[in-house]
Amino acid sequence: MAKPSEPGPDITSAVPTQTTIPTAESVADPHPPVLPKPSARSPRTRAGDKSSTYRAYHIERSMLGSHIPETIDRMVNANLARGTAGISPAVLAMAYLDWLMHLGLAPGKQALLNEKAIRKMVRLALYAFKSSQNPNISPCIEPLPQDHRFDGEGWKQWPYNLIYQSFLLTQQWWYNATTRTRGVDKRNDAIVSFVTRQILDMYSPSNSPLTNPEILKATMEEGGQNLVRGWTNFMADMEKMIAGKRLDEDGEQFVVGRDVAVTPGQVIFRNSLIELIQYQPTAQKVYAEPILIVPAWIMKYYILDLSPHNSMVRYLVEKGHTVFMISWINPTAADRDLGMDDYREDGVMAALDAIATILPGRKVHSVGYCLGGTLLTLTAAAMARDGDHRLKTVTLFAAQTDFSEAGELLLFINESQVAFLEDMMWDQGYLDAGQMVGAFQLLRSNDLIWSRMVHDYLLGQRQSLNDLMAWNADQTRMPFRMHSEYLRHIFLGNELATGHYKVKGRSVAITDIHAPIFTVATEQDHVAPWRSVYKINLLADADQVTFLLTSGGHNAGIVSEPGHGRRSYQMACRTDQDRYIDPDTWQATIPKQPGSWWPAWQTWLVKHSAEHQVSPPPMGVPEKGLYPLCAAPGTYVLQK
């Protein structure tokens, strides 16, 4: 006979079903009832039997943790970036996949491309027939206005005329194939077209000694000595690359402080980020408002103080202005945590505080160049928001404030590319100058890469170095944190233009800036396209905005001293009551004026300065702690 089972403990009684609010009596009871411990085999425990098994084998969590996998990924991307010039392979792969998938699903465009290919072959055949009868016949396709690879007389002779015409027709066909494919993302469309053009330019007939008539002619006339000189140049450049030097670096011809950056002055303030240079006045009387120049930290400041004949600093000093210049430190891995706030606080604001110590109560004409102009804009917006009215005017040289149409540089700035660059900077603590220069050279690869290789290595003709080229070789680095914040918030997020960029936890808006604004853009700028710079007319709510468009590029257009040949500019001013004019209409209607734009800007500065001039200020104020520390150009500019 089975023995009846004994009653076990009541599990439900050991688990409270509701929370009881203690009463005064229960609190006063010195011997409260002791609740029994829950059973080890409660329903909750049974639901967690799997976790108990994991704990038993010590695998309840990843053995790698959360940081090791991320570190491995960053290391892989950082090393990969060194071989891809910082360009993410994922960006290229996704762009080409998007294009190929949509092209594969577009039989109509495929048929059109086949038709275009046949038509181009017929055009080339007709041109070959006609040119055999008349060598002076017009080509069937003309190079783009900026393409000067085929300007030589040798390209008009058979068979080189057919070779370069065939290349241009092929290039045009690929442009048709890689653009305007229905359904392709606009940015991917531009990436595919850009990269395909770079590949085609690599195989241009002008780059080969067998298909370039100029190289063949030089080889025949010189008995191959051009190739000997080219080989010597190539080996010298390889030696520089192995030594970690720039190819266009020349340490003897243009020395900072001896040949360039020679305007007299003193470093009157220094912190861990900047040296502030005050230039020696040359006039008995000067304008009351000083000028503070904020250069980009991607470059050395002395682009605005090159040789004496083309130094903007010297020009302003001779015109009776008191000029202050920021000279940025060249950051190392130890400066990896410097951010945009540091550049604003310890850079622009620290310089303004030092100027206020020397010239109390004086307003300042502020000038920003390139990234320095973007930094100056957000600083001016934050000052206006906080009621700080020390800025008399704001001048921006080739500086963007809206990055929605930032040109071809914007093609590779997306989440994938920024993360790839961040991994590279995370590994080394900064973005190296060579990695930045490579991206800029790709934008003008015909002029900056392939033409140079042809002249240096195949024709054996070294281009003579000038002061601007020497400055361009004297690059700086950018800290990891700062460049990451700049790319994410200002470039990719476009937060400055949309009013989402925050300074001290609060958003800033360009519309808060009411000081007069003078903006300079250059026609051939591949870094800050002038139509993008023009957007300041949409963003600013200042009493007066003057826009000036000058000939030249990002650097040569700014270094445009009076007397410089082939220079011209257009300039117009608008008030807050005037209607907006789109950039193309503006360019078509504003008359061109010959010569340098410097005098026009200097006249504008005088117009916004006090009427009566004053005595020059002292070089620093020793009694207030601002001693002349050393002569210009200072020490930070010499850092490599």
- For the segment 501-511, what is each residue's pLDDT rounded down to a tens digit? 999 999 999 99
Q: Given this model, what pLDDT does residue 60 score? A: 61
Q: Given this model, what pLDDT does residue 58 score? A: 54
Q: Given this model, what pLDDT does residue 6 score? A: 43
Q: Given this model, what pLDDT does residue 225 score? A: 93
- Threshold 0.75, pTM exceeds: yes
Active-site residue numbers? 370
Q: Given this model, what pLDDT does residue 558 score? A: 95
- CA 613 distance to own-chain centroid: 39
Record the tokens describing residue 465, joined without a space: 């170095």
User: How many H-runs (helices) and E-runs (strands) does the chain carry?
Assistant: 26, 15
Measure the CA–CA gap between 197 and 234, rounded to whole angstroms: 26
- All domains of the chain, ordered by start, with CATH? 75-203 (no CATH), 265-404+494-638 (3.40.50.1820)
> For the residues of 51-74, what is the DSSP string, one character each?
HHHHHHTT-SS-SSTTHHHHHHHH
- Give the dihedral sign, CA 219/222/225/230: negative
- For the segment 310-345, what is each residue's pLDDT rounded down to a tens digit? 999 999 999 999 999 999 999 999 999 999 999 999
- For the segment 398-426, what is each residue's pLDDT rounded down to a tens digit? 999 999 888 777 777 778 788 888 888 88
Q: Given this model, what pLDDT does residue 29 score? A: 43
Q: Given this model, what pLDDT does residue 463 score? A: 79
Q: Which residues, in sequence order, are bridge partners of residue 279?
A: 265
Q: Given this model, what pLDDT does residue 518 score? A: 97
Which residue stretches of the chain have pLDDT < 50? 1-48, 50
Q: Given this model, what pLDDT does residue 52 score? A: 54
CA distance from start to end of the chain = 98
Measure the CA–CA gap between 28 and 32, rounded to whole angstroms: 9
Cβ-in-10-Å burial (0-12, 13-18, 19+) of 68 comes to exposed
Helices (H), 268-409: 312-318, 340-343, 350-358, 371-385
- CA 148 distance to own-chain centroid: 27
